[in-house]
Structure 1
Amino acid sequence: MDIRHLQYFVEVAKHRSFSKAAEKLFVSQPTISKMVKNLEEEVGTDLLLRSTKRKLELTDAGQVVFRQGQAILQSLQSIANELDAIKNRKTGTIRLGIPPMTGARFFSKVISGFHQKYPGIHIKIIEDGSKSLEKELQQGELDLAVLALPVSLDAFDCIAIVNDDLQLLVHPSHPFSAHETVTLSDLRCESFILFREGFHLHEVIPAECRKAGFEPTVICESSQWDFISEMVAENFGIALLPGTICRLLDQDRVRAIPLIEPSIPWHLAISWQKDQYLSYASQEFIAYTCESLQVPRQPRSAKRAGAAVD
């Protein structure tokens, strides 16, 4: 079985589209169609159902080839990564997932310092919400990711790097702006500005509100903490953001008040797939991050890390 045929088919199956797969692989659509057809002839059965609605579906055989093909390609990539580490030691690429609100605060200096120490290692940064990054890490599309704890699977090893709590962010004219603390139940009549779907806090904040006895009124969602804080500064609504982020904001334009009863933790960990090969570059980045942020380097399983913040 030609590995290139398998790679092309897996990409088509992943995107359910010849055109998107061709774009991803930088080849023409006729080329990728021919490769998939060759693979179908080789295995002796159809792998894709091509409907008149132009939507591709996998046959039973296609599902088997897709599942096993992903495993084969990932194994080949692991071989290449190990050989690269052995031959070059200080070169490579790290696919690093970072939630937007952590990048500037925690990782700009880390990445800059790491690059000075290892100029031959390229870091490809993917910014997305923690929940989305968790899926990408599990699927092998990332080497490392910064995830909000607790994670939902026992598929990762983690090193905790940030321990923080959420704070209430309000406009200076808001009645709560003079309070030393607020409880979550105090916010039942407020209008919330949340992170969008795919972010850890998109799920956590409404869940905590329901535990406090009310359904939050959400008037806006965003993927950027600076946009959320600007909306609060315009007196559009309130927000709950990590204290670390709140301390970066202009206190003349917004007020940050500690949240109690309950406090809502915001704990982050640098994470990677459990029992998977970690490239030399990734191992060095983990070590450098722990050194820079002055945290212990002992990894914990996702289950243990999650239990620590429950």
Structure 2
Amino acid sequence: MDIKQLYYFTAVAQAGSYSKAAESLAVSQPTLSVTVKKLEEELGVQLFYAFNREQHLTDEGLRLWTKAKQILDLYQETLDDMKTTNKNSSGKFTLGLSPLFGACFFGDLIPNFSMEYPNIEIKMIEDGAYRIDQRIERGEVDIAVTLNSKRLSSFAYCHFSTQRNVALLHKSHPLAKEPSVTVSQLRDDSFAIFNQDFILHEQIVDACHAAGFRPKFALLSSQWDFMVELVSKNHAVSILPKPVLDKHPDPNVCCVPMSDSMKYWDIVLAWNKDKYMPKACALFLDYCKHHLPPDDL
């Protein structure tokens, strides 16, 4: 017994006629009659009897009719549940996110997504982008926000946003009024930057080495506000994405655009291409693609 047989059986029961049922199902009457006959043979019972030119259910047919309606309703409910992509969608996924990305871009995006999909649960793992990349590789997160780097070659990813990096200089710094600076111009300063858990740390250090010097560190931290504080007290310089200072300006800190390899902060959504992506995660990815922050090029 299969779903098709039950559909045909209930159609005949409702129509009271093989010809009317065949017309509603858009099949030939012989096809319908053969299908019901095979069902009767499989069950070893008679399901219909003819009276006054109509098909009536036998006792066995009535019992099957009751069960068949329940089975078909459940079958349709299951199909609808598998196909659903609306606000009733449910599920959960794990999002890897640097606190810096969260502060800059996800203060509205995640709450708005949750309002549209209230039955989807997001488990967040916050860490530096370097460690987030390791979690993607190990399959510990379903999707993550990270920086465009050489590690991306082993992931699936899509563009999220490109923002400007700026040098954070005390207002009394000789370069504070310049239209732009390079890493090389900061060779005599002490840096307050992210620690080794963050890809931005590696990018800044690599840029310094490429410029021919080894940077001096006043601070390696996971807290961007701590870095800003050191710059504000004129103890160091820093390099951070412009959106950070746009949201949290400091009157003692000048933001001077970078003009070399550190010019841009390229952010992506990345996931392990060998790992299954839950439907809830796919909905989040699609939502992000339709609500991207504007690039600052």
TM-score by length of structure 1 reads 0.64
Q: How does 1:281-296 map to 2 (within 5 A)?
A: 281-293=280-292
Q: Does the Cα contact within 8 Å between 1:167 and 1:246 map onto a contact in 2?
A: no
Deviation string, structure 1 residues 138-188 (Cα, Å, up to 9, x no partner): 111111111101241533111111112321001112222122222221111
Measure, in 2, the Cα distance between the counterparts of 1:101 and 1:205: 16
- Counterpart for residue 117 of structure 2: 118
Measure, in 1, the Cα distance between the counterparts of 2:93 and 2:290: 18
Q: How does 1:24-173 map to 2 (within 5 A)?
A: 86=82, 90-173=89-172
3-state SS of 1:268 partner: strand
- Identity, % of aligned positions: 34
Q: Does the Cα contact within 8 Å between 2:113 and 2:284 map onto a contact in 1?
A: yes
Q: Does the Cα contact within 8 Å between 2:144 and 2:269 map onto a contact in 1?
A: yes
Q: How does 1:156-305 map to 2 (within 5 A)?
A: 156-293=155-292
Query: Unaligned 5+ residue runs, structure 2?
Result: 1-80
Q: Which runs of 4+ in 1 moved over 6 A?
A: none
Q: Does the Cα contact within 8 Å between 2:159 and 2:268 map onto a contact in 1?
A: yes
Distance 1:155 1:270, change over 3 A: same
Deviation string, structure 1 residues 215-255 (Cα, Å, up to 9, x no partner): 11012111122221122112220000112223223252210
3-state SS of 1:177 partner: coil
Deviation string, structure 1 residues 108-136 (Cα, Å, up to 9, x no partner): 21100110011111111111111100111
Measure, in 2, the Cα distance between the counterparts of 1:179 and 1:260: 11
TM-score by length of structure 2 reads 0.67
Deviation string, structure 1 residues 60-104 (Cα, Å, up to 9, x no partner): xxxxxxxxxxxxxxxxxxxxxxxxx84987221121011111102
Deviation string, structure 1 residues 1-59 (Cα, Å, up to 9, x no partner): xxxxxxxxxxxxxxxxxxxxxxxxxxxxxxxxxxxxxxxxxxxxxxxxxxxxxxxxxxx
3-state SS of 1:208 partner: helix
For 1:273, the aligned partner's letter is N
For 1:194, the aligned partner's letter is I
Distance 1:120 1:261, change over 3 A: closer
3-state SS of 1:236 partner: coil
